[in-house]
Amino acid sequence: MTDTIADYLTRVRNAIQANHRVVEIPASNLKKEITRVLRDKGYILNYKFEDDNLQGKIKIALKYHPVTKVPAIRKLIKVSKPGLRKYSDVESMPRVLNGLGVAILSTSKGVMTNKEAIQNNVGGEVLCYVY
């Protein structure tokens, strides 16, 4: 597999479409950080890391509206691809859905949202858009 982040986003997207409560994803440090950012911003309910002897798993509890059952994540869009990386500096930081969504970036100071990257005055690789 060449693009593990695209696989991560696709598994979450498919679980949301099928109205699953929990999705299991093979773990990596970058995926753990993306999951932490999604939890901090309120797009998922919770997550749990299960360590086995090999790679490990991330169990993500997806978030839905209690009455209407609408998922908290409407769109997950992969931006930077293995064949074409997308980088952004502080001046040209992307705005997602006019500030309502978030862009997740991989920076030299860790994985963070576009708003946190502007506050920390760092740029980086734009991994995905979430709204």
pLDDT per residue as tens digits for the range 56-86:
999 999 999 999 999 999 999 999 999 999 9
Q: Is the pLDDT of residue 2 over 90?
A: no
- pLDDT at position 118 is 96
Alpha carbons 49 and 71: distance in angstroms, whole number: 22
- pLDDT at position 45 is 96
Alpha carbons 47 and 32: distance in angstroms, whole number: 9
Q: What would the pLDDT profile of 40-51 be if each residue is shown by its tens digit?
A: 999 999 999 998
Domain 4-130 listed as CATH 3.40.50.300: no
**Domain assignments of the chain as residue spans, ordered by start:** 4-130
Q: How does DSSP classify residue 28?
A: -
CA angle 101, 106, 108 (to 5 degrees): 135
Contacts (Cβ under 8 Å, ≥6 apart) of 100: 131
Average pLDDT, the chain: 95
